Amino acid sequence: MAAKSLWYCTSCGNESPKWMGRCPACGEWNTMVEAPVEKKSSGAKGAARQTVTERKPVMLKEIDRSKETRVSLGMPEVDRLLGGGIVPGSLVLIGGEPGIGKSTLSLQIPLNSGLKTLYVTGEESDRQVKMRAERLSPGGPEEDGSNTLIFCETQIESVIREATEIMPDLMIVDSVQTMFTESVESTPGSVSQIKEVAAMLLRFAKQTGVPVILIGHITKDGYIAGPKILEHIVDVVLQFEGENRGSYRILRSIKNRFGSTSEIAVFEMTGTGLREIANPSEMLIPMHEAGLSGAAICAMLDGTRPLLFEVQALVSTAVYGTAQRSATGFDTRRLNMLLAVLEKRAGFHLGAKDVFLNMAGGLKVTDPAADLAVVAAVLSSNFDYSLPSDCCFAAEVGLSGEIRPVGQSDRRIGEAARLGFKKIFVSSYTPLPDNLPKAIKVVKVPDVPALVKSLFKNA
Ligand code: TYD
Ligand code: MG
């Protein structure tokens, strides 16, 4: 039979026997890429090639859960993100744009944890890795207390052979796009290579119990084949985000078979590697003295952790015919909806104004609790009237201008009090426990007009 091709969607990983302009699974346009089907000559090869194992089914009640051990990676924030350390035999994908700090993080892990690590790199020479390690070593360049083996190799069969021989505590593979297997006839980085390489690493991890961290590149638009397709295969997906210009990096948990998702860890890129920021609120709240208009603090929940950050808005008269609306880190459609609510329910004519919105620190915010801070920031900029620097906001805004409660208000209030805020605006319908901190005043507002009255009566 002639060589056949399969088509994969780079957005969702959907497979199709023919090219399509639009992926039927996720509805994205122009995302299908071609990948030759691997050689199947010697029977079922590739992922399906499993010899019969000795394993037997076990009764659910007889499984001893306490046996699940976690291995610390020597970086408390990364451990927390993983759900308390890495699970033996798991495959963890760390994705991110080039230059964001994936290689730096993956080298800091063996240096900090002291785990016996096989560090496989297909991207750099051993001398380059050494140079980076000297920058990163916690005890200075002379003090390499780590237990790390560097292996410059791109053929996955040799990598797995070495790993099986060495039996490290941890294996790191940088990056999946540079690895290749002989069993697939296409170039490294192609869809079928990436899938097969990941499947082989997964098999290795599950059979030996060695945890594997796999690095994957994604471009700005997430287009390059790879990480999206891998998400189905691996156990955990962590995504590195952040402005390349800024020094803050956010590692976000997108998928986690052993812990919760939608948690983040925040780092600062310094001259000696990534520094963990255990309390991100402190970096996300204002760097300026009080008195600037257009800024409001939101008490958001990131996964399970409360996080306070600054919402910045700029409202100005449109120079060109149509007003511009742009939001960084916030859904533009949601911004438009909030502006429409302000127009219709509170009588503000923002139709002829440009509105720019920014979430501090390159944060991407999806928590509906940000609505109230967005509304407050927009109005503050519109009136050119600054909000008191010791007040913050946590509530959703509904289409009729009503202010709606959000989950876990007590934790948001607690964090705000801990950071020294004196006032927090929440919905009138928020259920509140009795044991709230005394240091903070909880202001309940029912709707947008009431908020305007209470914030801007002097404006
Ligand atoms: P790197 O980890 O190589 O990124 P990736 O593997 O995701 O492509 O990070 C590269 C960037 O980080 C580069 O711009 C230099 C910067 N950097 C520091 O600022 N401090 C450091 O200690 C290190 C090692 C890198
Ligand atoms: Mg790299």
For 283-455, CATH number out of 3.30.230.10, 3.40.50.720, 1.10.3470.10, 3.40.190.10 equals 3.30.230.10
pTM score: 0.75
> Is the beta carbon of 257 within 6 A of some atom in ligand 1?
no
- 74 secondary structure, DSSP code: S
The CA 104 to ligand 1 mean position distance, Å, reads: 6
- CA–CA distance, 412 with 239 (Å, rounded to integer): 25
Question: Is the CB of residue 99 below 6 angstroms from any atom belonging to ligand 1?
Answer: yes
Task: Quickly list DSSP for 295-318.
Answer: EEEEEEEETTEEEEEEEEEEEEE-
pLDDT of 46: 47
CB-ligand 1 contact for 101 (6 Å cutoff): yes
Q: Taking the domains of the chain in order of start, what are their residue ranges? A: 5-36, 69-278, 283-455
Nearest ligand to the C-alpha atom of residue 177: 2
Q: Which ligand is nearest to the CA of 124?
A: 2
DSSP secondary structure string, 332-396? HHHHHHHHHHHHHHH----TTEEEEEEEGGG-----TTHHHHHHHHHHHHHHT-PPPTTEEE--E
Residue 107, number of CB atoms within 10 A of its CB: 27
| CA atoms within 13 Å, Cβ hemisphere of 64 | 3
**Is the distance from the beta carbon of residue 103 to the nearest atom of ligand 1 less than 6 Å?**
yes
Ligand 1 atom showing the smallest separation from residue 135 Cα: 22
**pLDDT tens sequence for the chain (459 residues):** 455 778 887 777 778 888 888 888 888 888 787 776 655 444 444 444 556 777 788 888 887 776 668 999 999 999 999 999 999 999 999 998 888 999 999 999 999 998 999 999 999 999 999 999 988 876 655 566 678 999 999 999 999 999 999 999 999 999 899 999 998 888 887 888 888 999 999 999 999 999 999 999 886 555 445 566 788 899 999 988 876 566 788 898 888 998 877 678 889 889 899 999 887 777 777 666 667 889 999 999 877 778 888 999 999 988 777 889 999 989 999 999 999 999 999 888 888 899 999 998 778 888 999 999 999 999 999 999 999 888 999 999 999 999 999 988 888 998 888 888 899 999 999 988 888 888 899 999 999 999 999 998 876
Residue 24 in contact with ligand 1 by CB distance below 6 A:
no
DSSP state of 155: B
pLDDT at 245: 60
Q: What is the pLDDT of residue 198?
A: 93
The atom of ligand 1 lying closest to the CA of 269 is 19
Atom index in ligand 1 nearest the CA of residue 247 equals 19
Nearest ligand to the C-alpha atom of residue 96:
1
Does ligand 1 lie within 6 Å of residue 135's CB atom? yes
Residue 95's SS3 state is strand
C-alpha distance from residue 44 to each of 39, 41, 82, 247, 393 (Å): 9, 8, 35, 48, 59
Q: How confident is the model at residue 289, as a pLDDT?
A: 64
Q: Which ligand is nearest to the CA of 240?
A: 1
Residue nearest to atom 21 of ligand 1 (CA): 273
CA distance 319 to 243: 28
> d(Cα 314, Cα 331) in Å, to the nearest integer?
16
Domain 69-278 belongs in CATH node 3.40.50.300: yes
271 lines ligand 1 (CB under 6 A): yes
Q: What are phi and psi of 313, to 5 degrees?
A: -130, 150
Query: 272 CB under 6 A from ligand 1?
Result: yes
